[in-house]
Amino acid sequence: MLSQLGQVWVQMETSNRTASHALKTLKVAIDGPAGAGKSTVAQLAAKRLGYLYIDTGAMYRAATWLAVHRGIAITDGQAIADAASKANIRLEQGDESTSNRVKVFVDDQDITHGIRTNEISDLVSPVSSHSPLRKVMVAQQKELAKRGGVVLDGRDIGTVVMPDANLKIYLTASPEIRAKRRLKDLQALGESPVYEELLMSIADRDNRDSSRADSPLKQAEDAVVIITDNLTIDQVVDAIVKLCLAEAEEKR
């Protein structure tokens, strides 16, 4: 028969194992408008937690790049969906050469930097609004996420792709801050964008993303809102990791 101290030790060990298992199987959804820092934050949070990071935005950018480079009309959603379903779109862990952003390949061609140009940024919203393409992408994302231990970011993750997510976060920032971040990103790629034009582009994209008929940008009712205007990347990542730890503790 176990002593009282032994019983307490067993209970603590069982509780710790339960919490650890819960943490390893969480599903984390991060949604928000363009330029809010979702991809960077999601990738760093996933690394800290030992999770699989699935950059859904990069997947849609890859489909957009595919359409542009194969001469497919941006308005032809079915043709883009067919091309994306047949192509081998692959994501790999990023490194310093990509500023820790996920590496993206289409049929073994590295398009990591190619999908971040201003041209692709302007086209990805109308391309991603096509229902046939969204159906292809969402099916792939659901399959990748079903086992848990994942972080997905996008615009419809908590509402469409992963409505059963344990933790839903809505990451946002003012249009002005997002335009400044976009300006810095494009300058790093060797482009010379105009801030005022980027600000207008972000406003237009926000409107398109939130008003599209299929899976619009929308804050899930049970999402935790994080406004990143005055926060560093590390502060946002810390906040998300703490929320995950709290969720795992509650699940044990």
Look at residues 106, 100, 103, 107 and name the one whose alpha carbon lies nearest to residue 92. 103
* pLDDT tens per residue, range 58-107: 999 999 999 999 999 999 999 999 999 999 888 887 777 777 678 899 99
Domain extent listing, the chain: 27-251
What pTM did the predictor assign? 0.76
pLDDT(12) > 70: no
Residues 189 and 202: their CA atoms lie apart, in Å, by: 18
Categorize the per-residue pLDDT at 174 as very low, low, confident or very high, splitting at 50, 70 and 90. Answer: very high
Mean pLDDT of 193-220: 91
* pLDDT tens per residue, range 146-167: 889 999 998 899 999 999 999 9
How many other CB atoms are there within 10 angstroms of residue 233's CB atom?
Answer: 12
Which pLDDT score, from 0 to 100, does residue 52 have? Answer: 86
Residues 139 and 164: their CA atoms lie apart, in Å, by: 15
Tell the burial category of 240 from Cβ atoms under 10 Å away from its Cβ (0-12, 13-18, 19+): buried
Q: 27-251 sits in which CATH class?
A: alpha beta
pLDDT(7) > 50: no
* pLDDT tens per residue, range 128-137: 999 999 999 9
